[in-house]
Structure formats: structure tokens, C-alpha cells
Amino acid sequence: MLELILGDLAGNVRVWLGALLVAAATGAVGAVVGSGFQTAIAVGGDQALALYGLAGTILLLTVITALIVTGTVANLTVALQQRGYALWQLAGVAPGRVRAVVTTQLALVAVLGAAAGCVAASPALGPLWRLALSDVDVRFDAREAVPVIAVVVLVVTLGGARSAGRASRTPPIRSLREPELPDRSMSAGRWVTGLATLAITAAIVVSLPGRDPDRLTAPLTFVGPLTAGVLAAFGPLYLAPLLRGWTGVVPVTLSGAWFLARNSTAHHIARSTAAISPITVAIALAGGLYAADATVSGGDSPGAGSVALLLGGPLLLSLLGAAATVFMGSGRREREFALLLAAGGTPATVLAAAAAEAVIYVLTAALLGLVAVAVTALAGAAAVDTAPSFGLAAVAAVTGASLVLTLAATVLPTALALRRDVPRTLARDA
């Protein structure tokens, strides 16, 4: 079993590298939270109260973000290896053992990534906390790193539990073919998660009217990412039609590359969801914070230091998660690119189609993120009886950063794939 675990990890480095990167980012954000709690225990007094409040807020935002991002990454990790799991079963590996192997792999990658994230984040903890509390003496050591790593492992394995179960149920017939058919089904877990998140979001919104305006911003900040979580949970119900609908605005005769990208993103919905959901969360986080603060405070913007401390980690996790998922899937698309070239397409067309896919991912996420931001702004405006502010500058900034990262993660691997010999690629994957 150990050989199977390690051999599969080594043989699919590109796929597992995305999960490792997300685990490392989650561990780095966890180190920020852990250092806040450890420092609060050590210093006491008013500083401790401020640290507990800030660390608790970062923790809640990170948990919401991490569950969505790690879930999509784990789902894509398994989807990209379904043929391998089918071959395992043909070789005599029992379904229960397949599930155990996948779960162990997720846990191992989570441990390595979280530990690396804690180590990488340690030098930045002091400067980061001093953005909000200038005179704080930040503390973080191995005693606090251990629970951070444990929580990251729990979150990653929890996010991948459904995927591990699906891996064990992969039919051996998959070894004969490797399609990625659109998955429009809503599982019981998705229904429960989506409805529970919707109920929590509605409870927060209902509780806002009548509160002291000075205490509205904190709960209102959670409305955006929670709404993004609802949208992610119910994605199978609407995402494919949404992609086909708005991308159909561009006529087929105007751009062949756009036509290819439009059909690819709508058909490969599992891959598209994995790229879109993290960006949606990132936009909801940043836009929601600015919308909440500006709506309640009448136009004032939160300080840069507070924004960096509260949103820096969750935003990093979301954007890296989106880029990682795009990069993970690019290795399995070499045959697709080779087929396009064999059918008469040019390298320029293939590159343009890859860039168009990145644009579709980001703009779709921006549409969904704006829904989450609008819910935040309208809920805040109704609570204080004022005009809503939608944080459009923050939305535009995060959308632009997401587009740059997604283009890099999409176009660069495509350019490298185009350098391969077409007949050899088709013969190898046939």
C-alpha cells in the first residue's frame, strides 16, 4: 500500500502539486491565526482582546475559504486520475483500499504543505500583525504550529472525503476511456451544505436591522463569502447554462478561438468549477469587506493595514487555489491541443483559445462575485437605511489580479505543450 501511495504521488506530480500549494497557503494563513492566539495568551489585557477579535475573524474567513478551495482542488485531483483508479481495481485493488489510499495521499500532502506554509510564514508574522497593532510582540513556535497543521489536515481531508469516496466507486470500464463528462448532479452533501450555508447567511442578514451601526461591519463582512459558498454549493444547477448563456453573446463568426473556449469550459464543467469557485470567493471577500464598511460608515474605506491582515491570507489562498487548479488540469490537455493542430488549427488559435478560457473563468467568477457583493451591500443598506456601496474598486482589483494569474497558469503550459510533436502525442495517449 505504501508503494501505491508514494508511486502515484510521484507519477502525478503536476496534479498533486496543486493540492500541495493550496495546503501550504492554508498552513501559512493558519500560522497567522495561530500566532494571534498564542500572542494573545502571552500578553493579556486589552491587546489580547484585540488579538482574539482579529484572529477569530481571520479564522472564520479562512475556514469558509479553505473549505471551498480545498474541496474544489480535491474534486479536480480525483477527476484527473479516474482512469488510474479504474486500473487499480482491474489490478485487484479493492474499492475500500482505493479510498484509503486517496485519503492517505490527501493527508500526507496536507501535512507536508501545512508544515512548509508555517515555516514560510514565520518571518512575516511580526510585520503583518504590526500593521494593525504597532507595538505587539508576536509569538509563534512549534507548540502552536502542531495544531495548525492538524487543522489543515482535517480541512483538506474533509474537503476531499467525497472525492475519495468517488475514487473508490470509479468503474473499471473507465480504464478504456477517459472522458470528463459534464456533472450536473446535486449530491445529498451539496444540498445539505448549500441549504445550511444559505440558512446561516439568511440568519445573519435578518439579525442586522436594529443593531448599533458601529457593530454592523463585522457580521456583514461574512455575508459575501457565505453567499459565495452558497453559489459554489449549488453550482451544478446553473453553472453550465450560465457559461453557455453569457459567452454566447460573442458571435461564432467573430472568433474561432472564443468558440473553442466557450464549448470547452461548458463541457468540462468540473475543471471550470475548480477554477471559477476560488476566484468567486476572492472577489466576494474583498468586495464584500469594502461594500460592508463603505455602506455602514457612509463611504469611508477600511485601512490598508487592516485589509492586509484580515483578507491577505484568504485572498492568497483563493487566488493560488484558482491558479493551481488551472495548472493541474493543463497537463492532461496535451492530446486535446494535438487534436486541434491535427485538424488544421494553428498554434496561434490554440493559444488564443487558452487565453479565452482564462477570460471566461475570471469573468464568470466576477459575475458570481458581484452577486455576493451586491447581497452584502443591499443587506447593509437595508439595516442602516442608506444607499448601498458595492466596493467596485476592490472587485476590479481582485478581478484583474485573478486574470493575470489565470492567464499565466493557462497560456504558459499551453505554449509548452505546443512544442511537443503532434503524432507522438496522439500515439502516446491513444
66-75 burial by CB neighbour count: b if 16+ within 10 A, else e?
A: bbbbbbbbbb
- Same-domain check for residues 22 and 167: yes
- Same-domain check for residues 224 and 330: yes
Residue 43: domain span = 1-177
Assigned C-alpha cell, 223: 455575508
Choose the final residue of a domain: 159, 177, 195: 177
Residue pair 420/331 in contact by the 8 Å Cβ criterion: no
- Same-domain check for residues 146 and 125: yes
- Same-domain check for residues 278 and 226: yes
- Same-domain check for residues 172 and 208: no
- Same-domain check for residues 278 and 363: yes
CA proximity to 156, closest of 117, 103, 208: 103
Residue pair 200/118 in contact by the 8 Å Cβ criterion: no
Q: How far is the C-alpha of 344 from the C-alpha of 396, rounded, in Å?
A: 38
Listed in sequence order, the DSSP H helices in 298-421 are 304-330, 334-342, 347-384, 392-417
The separation between the first and the last C-alpha atoms of the chain, rounded to the nearest angstrom, is 29
Task: Report the SS3 class of residue 26.
Answer: helix
- Same-domain check for residues 106 and 188: no
- Residue 329 burial by Cβ neighbours in a 10 Å radius (0-12, 13-18, 19+): buried
Q: How far is the C-alpha of 195 from the C-alpha of 208, rounded, in Å?
A: 20
Is the C-alpha dihedral spanning 63, 167, 232, 227 positive or negative?
negative
| Residue listed under C-alpha cell 485601512 | 303
Choose the final residue of a domain: 160, 177, 194: 177
Assigned C-alpha cell, 129: 500583525
Q: How far is the C-alpha of 182 from the C-alpha of 53, rounded, in Å?
A: 43
- Same-domain check for residues 270 and 408: yes
Assigned C-alpha cell, 324: 493551481
Amino acid present at 46: D
Q: How far is the C-alpha of 118 from the C-alpha of 148, rounded, in Å?
A: 8
Q: How far is the C-alpha of 107 from the C-alpha of 120, rounded, in Å?
A: 20
What pLDDT sits at residue 91?
78
What pLDDT sits at residue 177?
54
Assigned C-alpha cell, 296: 455602514
Q: How many domains does the chain have?
A: 2
What pLDDT sits at residue 214?
75
What pLDDT sits at residue 182?
40
Residue pair 248/330 in contact by the 8 Å Cβ criterion: no
Q: How far is the C-alpha of 204 from the C-alpha of 200, rounded, in Å?
A: 6
pTM of the full predicted structure?
Answer: 0.84
DSSP state, 303?
A: P
Q: How far is the C-alpha of 192 from the C-alpha of 30, rounded, in Å?
A: 27
- Same-domain check for residues 95 and 201: no
At residue 267's C-alpha, the angle toward residues 264 and 270, to 5°, is: 105
Task: Report the SS3 class of residue 264.
Answer: helix
What pLDDT sits at residue 198?
95
What is the chain's pLDDT, residue by residue, as a tens digit (430 residues)? Answer: 777 777 778 777 878 888 898 899 999 999 999 998 988 888 888 788 888 888 888 888 888 888 888 877 877 777 777 777 777 777 778 878 888 888 888 899 999 999 999 999 999 888 888 877 777 888 888 888 899 999 889 888 877 777 777 777 767 665 555 544 445 567 787 899 899 999 999 999 999 988 877 788 888 989 999 999 999 989 888 998 999 999 988 887 777 788 888 888 888 787 888 889 899 999 999 999 889 888 887 655 666 666 777 888 888 889 888 888 888 876 666 667 777 777 677 888 888 888 999 999 999 999 999 999 999 999 999 998 888 888 899 999 999 999 999 999 888 888 887 777 666 665 555 4
Choose the final residue of a domain: 131, 157, 177: 177
CA dihedral in degrees (352, 354, 355, 359; nearest 10)?
A: 130
Please provide the size of the chain in residues: 430
Residue pair 326/406 in contact by the 8 Å Cβ criterion: yes
CA proximity to 390, closest of 266, 224, 243, 233: 224
What pLDDT sits at residue 331?
63
- Same-domain check for residues 312 and 426: yes
- Same-domain check for residues 337 and 245: yes
Assigned C-alpha cell, 199: 440558512
Cβ atoms within 10 Å, residue 119: 14
Assigned C-alpha cell, 320: 493560488
- Same-domain check for residues 288 and 347: yes
